[in-house]
Structure 1
Amino acid sequence: MGLKFLIVGAGAVGGYFGGRLLEAGEDVTFLVRPKRRKQLEKTGLVLKSVKGDATLDPPLIEKRETGIFDVILLSTKAYQLDNVLPELTGFMHKETVILPLLNGMEHLETLDRYFNKDVVLGGLCFIESTLTNEGHILHTSSGHRLTVGERNGEMSERVKRIAASFDKTNADVRTSIHISEEMWRKYLFIATLSGITTLFNGPVGPIRDSDEGRAFTHQLIDEIVTVIRHTGEPIGNDFADKAWRQVMKLSDETKASMQKDKEKGLPVEADHIPGYLLRLAEVNECFTPFLQAIYANLKVYDQWRKDDSR
């Protein structure tokens, strides 16, 4: 018997991977807000992707509706998490698992406090996608990788079943027995990319092509790695080099999703990406001037949004 998936939201990440599951014939339902529901009922779930387009008719529910699910795929923005969690318990049975695909690491602490820690898997994805003004999911790069694993390093049957559900999907889905390390690697990469593109207010190409931009990026990576090492996490010696190589491989036009949100005037995850690293740095007395500059820039942007909305 197949797994029943609840995808929380139908945005650029959850909408994409949930849509690929639905396209492959899996049992998928989307938990959405009323405005998004009306939009999806009118247009369908539209994927515009370099890996193949799809227009799907997704099952939709809103909070306080009924349904019990085996896997809850959670891909909200970190600043939305506290409002979402109370909605989820009514959709869970005793063996339901939560697969979070949020950026950063702080959300694991939040989820562990709210649910039994054993309920929460480790997960991450690499995908360059965004939600258009029409509500379509635009996927613009060749990567669409999702990785899932047990945070204790075991290869469990539930992880195998989730991976098997993705076997026939048009997506690159993997399992890992080193999911925590992979999540820290992703955190380093996304904190670097979001940091430089939001601070310099543009794509990675000009930053990487200037001596000053390259030097700043190098020093930012070293700073973040120092903070992570002080947490006691068993991270590899190649963390900094691999993050640098990832940045070097990006296309000139690449921007972090945070920069794209900034350009649209949307909220950003300032407190959850650089902010969480700064809180770790403060506890461990790490010197972090580059992270502080990035965070200050994002908080000024937050203030601009507040002032502009008055």
Structure 2
Amino acid sequence: MRILIVGAGAIGGYFGGRLLEAGRDVTFLVRQGRAEELDQNGLIVRSPAGDIDYPSPPHVMTSMLNTTFDLILLSCKAYDLDAAMDSFAAAVGPDTLILPMLNGMSHLDRLSKRFSPDNVLGGLAFISVDRDASGKILHLNELHQITFGELEGARTPRILKVEEALSDAGFVATLSEQIVQEMWEKWCFIATLAGVTGSLRASIGDVIASGGESFILELLAECGAVAAQASHGVREEVRQRFQTMLTAQGSKMTASMLRDVERGATIEVEHLIGDMVARRGSKKQDGLSPLDVVYLNLKSYEARRVREQG
């Protein structure tokens, strides 16, 4: 299976590097600056699961795409999705499978509209990674998993080929027969984690120490109500697991959105939080809900960032 990794950033670079080391047919689609980094330094990953130093990994730029691929792994930020789709459009044929590893749900509709619903799979990445100034990828914990599946849940011959391509490659690859449900559940978790840590500029443990447990739980419940409204309510055992993680005293857990805020970078506020607000619809109660509070805070950060950089 010929695999195109869109970008060689933190997530794409990590999983693409593992696939390369496992002998899979992988090519990275990158911009000029990243191409120069890969040419000069190779693909470098520092990880508790084992480091990667892969010299001159196969990579192309958009102008060089002249053939279609079997599988496209997509891990861009949501605000870059339109540009990403433009960049890899030439690689998409009738039988190409696009596996997006974005949080939230709206990207599925955007991908299906741009290409075809038949091209699009459901997917999730469970990993904490970052990149340093040199382009080195830093794996920040021991979790490294891709979960994927047909949106309708079927075990089709093509999804079994994807499972074969991703399995035994140095990370956990899980074929799910309920990927849409799992995507909704992760969205609820990430919207809560990003909303809390990004808006309050603190780790979960710091928020708990400051008396914020009820705020966290109310936000999780509000997101869960949106999922239930879409017929994908968070399952009780999953909710309990999320609650335990999000209320652990002393936890250093944060979302990548907090790192982006601290860098003064663009954030995925609309895809993660704004879309949740939009799907919730109008509230019946007076005042701002926890979801409204974090949305207002993060949108204010975004407005200030645009103003100061303008």
CA contact (8 A) 1:230 1:284 kept: no
How far does the alpha carbon of each residue in 1:255-278 deviate from its partner, in whole angstroms, 9 at most, with x for none?
A: 101111111111000111010000
> Which amino acid is 1:236 matched to?
R
2:18 to 17, 20, 25: 20
1:220 paired residue number: 219
Cα–Cα, structure 1 residues 283 and 238, in superposed 2: closer, same or farther, change >3 Å? farther
The alignment partner of 2:261 has SS state of helix
1:52 paired residue number: 50
Find the aligned partners of 1:59 and 1:224 in 2 and give their Cα distance: 41
The alignment partner of 1:267 has SS state of coil
In the TM superposition, residue 286 of structure 1 has moved relative to its aligned partner by: 8.2
> Which amino acid is 1:214 matched to?
E
In the TM superposition, residue 303 of structure 1 has moved relative to its aligned partner by: 1.7
Find the aligned partners of 1:301 and 1:293 in 2 and give their Cα distance: 12
Find the aligned partners of 1:164 and 1:134 in 2 and give their Cα distance: 33
1:252 aligns with 2:251: yes
Name structure 2 gaps, 5 residues minimum.
none
TM-score, with normalisation over the residues of structure 2?
Answer: 0.94
CA contact (8 A) 2:2 2:69 kept: yes
In the TM superposition, residue 192 of structure 1 has moved relative to its aligned partner by: 0.9
2:289 paired residue number: 289
Cα–Cα, structure 1 residues 253 and 237, in superposed 2: closer, same or farther, change >3 Å? closer
Deviates more, 1:25-34 or 1:287-296: 287-296
Find the aligned partners of 1:163 and 1:248 in 2 and give their Cα distance: 34
1:70 paired residue number: 70
> Which amino acid is 1:244 matched to?
Q
Measured on the aligned residues, the alpha-carbon RMSD in Å equals: 1.8
> Which amino acid is 2:212 matched to?
G
> Which amino acid is 1:61 matched to?
V
CA contact (8 A) 1:11 1:131 kept: yes
The alignment partner of 1:221 has SS state of helix
2:110 paired residue number: 110
Find the aligned partners of 2:250 and 2:3 in 1 and give their Cα distance: 34
Deviates more, 1:279-288 or 1:108-117: 279-288
> Which amino acid is 1:271 matched to?
E
Find the aligned partners of 1:90 and 1:285 in 2 and give their Cα distance: 47
The alignment partner of 2:159 has SS state of helix
Alignment map for 1:186-197 (pairs within 5 Å): 186-197=186-197
1:207 paired residue number: 207
The alignment partner of 2:251 has SS state of coil
2:230 paired residue number: 231
Number of residue pairs matched?
Answer: 307
In the TM superposition, residue 250 of structure 1 has moved relative to its aligned partner by: 9.1
Name structure 1 gaps, 5 residues minimum.
none
Alignment map for 1:1-310 (pairs within 5 Å): 3-56=1-54, 57-65=56-64, 66-210=66-210, 212-233=211-232, 235-248=234-247, 252-282=251-281, 289-310=289-310
> Which amino acid is 1:89 matched to?
A
In the TM superposition, residue 252 of structure 1 has moved relative to its aligned partner by: 2.3
> Which amino acid is 2:101 matched to?
L
How far does the alpha carbon of each residue in 1:151-181 deviate from its partner, in whole angstroms, 9 at most, with x for none?
A: 1011122222122122231111110101111
